[in-house]
Structure 1
Amino acid sequence: MNEARVILALVFCICFTLSYFTNKYVLSVLKFTFPTIFQGWQTSTGALLLLVTWKLGLVEINGLSRSAVFSQLPGSFLFIGNIYAGSKALSLLPIPFFFVLQNISEVFAFLSVIFTRQEKATWRKLISVCLLLGSAVSLIVYNPRFGPSGYTWAFIHLFCAGTYKVFQKNSKTRPLSDLEEQFMNYMISTLLLASLSYTTGDLFGALDFPLLTSYIFHAGCLSSAVFGFMLMLVTVKMRGSLPQEHCGVWFFLAKVLASGLSFYLTAFNTEVSPVTFCSVVLSYGGEALFLYAERFDKTFR
């Protein structure tokens, strides 16, 4: 791996950590619990920044045909469910716990591929799946104070995230590039979340938010949108520059970095018992084994 790819991967880890930290800060510390407003702001900002970078010639986006748009609609709705439920879950759960439950989306995608394509699972992957599931179950059992609401939203989030991965893998043709797909997700999310803000009452609740005029709140929301957009861009770039197994390793390292640093940030107040700490370590061990199994199976297939 050359220096440019290493720098790209390190930038990804930094953007990943900052994106989750700013989101967590706005949602938990500032207690802005209006997901349709918060995610609508992020997706509309992402769409606007993507348009600006396209007009400046920094990224390439082609015209969206009607057939391509309709083929992506199921994925866009899953994307909305993913970010909405993820926002609710992240506001209630510590970052390490959120990642432990989020890892189950890999299990969901893996099992879906096994059943739909009738592929045989290796013993390495089966052990890793058991570790991921076991860590999530132990976390829920020994931390009931975060449920049922936090865990319920987390499971909705991982279901949408896992289904979206299956949708991408099972698409026989990809008429849209990654950036075009993301642009469409942004646009549809902005329109739908804007309409939902009225029906859910989030719009009126946000107008009465005590910190609405605070510069700290404005800085947090702006940072979360910008870091989220940067994370999306560098993720697309990294997936186009690195092999899939290398991308998986960097995603893993980014989650470990974000989880580790969150323990030292007093603003997040992440308290864990020895049992829940072991659950977090067990989850990352299962994910590492899963990545190793992916690379081993691909090498000797």
Structure 2
Amino acid sequence: MSWRRHISGCVFSLFFVVSYFTNKFVLSVLKFTYPTLFQGWQTFIGALLLLLFGKLGWVEMSRITRSAALPWLPASLLFVGNIYAGSRALSHIKMRWMTFISICLMLLSAINLPLYDPQFDNSGYLWAVAHLFCVGAYRVFQVHYKPRDLSDLEIQCINYLFSVLLLAAAAHPTGDLMAAMEFPSLQSYTFHCGCCASALLGFFLLLATVKLKSGISLEHFGIWCFISKVSAVCLSPLVFSMEINAPSLICVLGSHVGEALLVYSEREPQL
């Protein structure tokens, strides 16, 4: 792997960690728990910047036709469910022995973590289950139907635009709109900076992801994702106030060991 690919990977990891930390700051520290508004804002900025960058020729995007966009809308619906649920989850299962062991480790860790987590929140884990379903269904749709006439950026632009429309329509029925108007930190400079940073960082993370995936194999991309996740986990206690005990720490470590085995098992055969 050339030094340029290492730089792309480091940039991806940097945006990954900073983006997720910013989102956690707004959602957890500032307690702005209104996903139709927060993620609607993020997808709106993402779509706006993608269209602007495409118009200026800074990213490669062609005109998205209706015939190309319509078949992808079911996946966009799953994308909305993915970001609405909010957590990361497992990928599809391949039944090789090391992959099976890795999936078992991650599954056992996920099952046991709610039992020992000192910060346990029942609704949080229910949304994690919803995220698991949406991520899995989105991956299946992506594998079995990947439009040849749409690039990754164009697909993401469709996801963003669909998300903005759906989340905007859901903001009032869910009560998020009225509750957000009474949010204590609504006029806070820190709140506005955090929301702007989360949208911009999410967009640049998208660009870094597409750039990294275009220059390396999926196996190496999985390695960089794993490195980024481990970096985020290791740095989290230094940035955020967290309660943790030995059993929950073992669950987190077991999950990452399982993912490490998954990444290793999916490497290309070395000749």
Output the aligned Cα RMSD. 1.5
Output the CA distance in 2 between the equivalents of 1:71 and 1:147.
37
The answer for unaligned runs of 5 or more in structure 2 is: none
- Residue 248 of structure 2 is aligned to residue 259 of structure 1: no
| One-letter code aligned to 2:253 | V
Give the drift of 1:212: 1.1
Q: Is 1:238 aligned to 2:208, yes or no?
A: no
The structure richer in helix per residue is 1
Deviations 1:157-176 (A, max 9, x none): 12111211111111164331
Rounded to whole Å, the distance in 2 between the matches of 1:234 and 1:279 is 30
Trace 1:18-167 onto structure 2 (pairs within 5 A).
Answer: 18-86=18-86, 102-103=88-89, 105-106=90-91, 109-110=92-93, 121-143=95-117, 145-167=119-141
Corresponding residue for 2:254? 282
TM-score (norm 1): 0.86
Tell me by how many angstroms 1:6 deviates. 0.7
63-72 vs 41-50, which moves further: 63-72
Q: Greater shift after overlay, 199-208 or 227-236?
A: 199-208
**1:128-186: CA deviation from partner (whole Å, max 9, x where unpaired):** 11111111112122227523211001111121112111111111643311000000000
Q: Confirm or deny: 8 A CA contact 2:50 2:157 kept in the other structure.
A: yes
Q: Structure 1 stretch 222-231 or stretch 161-170: which is displaced more?
A: 161-170
Instruction: Name the structure 2 match of 1:118.
Output: none
Whether 2:266 is the aligned partner of 1:299: answer: no
Unaligned runs of 5+ in 1: 90-101, 115-120
- Displacement of 1:189: 0.4
Q: Is residue 118–residue 244 contact of structure 2 (8 Å, CA) maintained in 1?
A: no
Aligned-residue identity in percent: 51
The reply to whether residue 199 of structure 1 matches residue 173 of structure 2 is yes
**Are 1:16 and 2:16 matched, yes or no?**
yes
CA distance in 2, matches of 1:170, 1:270: 40
How far apart in 1 are the matches of 2:27 and 2:148? 34
What is the number of equivalent residue pairs in this alignment? 271
Amino acid at match of 1:282: G
The amino acid of 1:209's aligned partner reads F
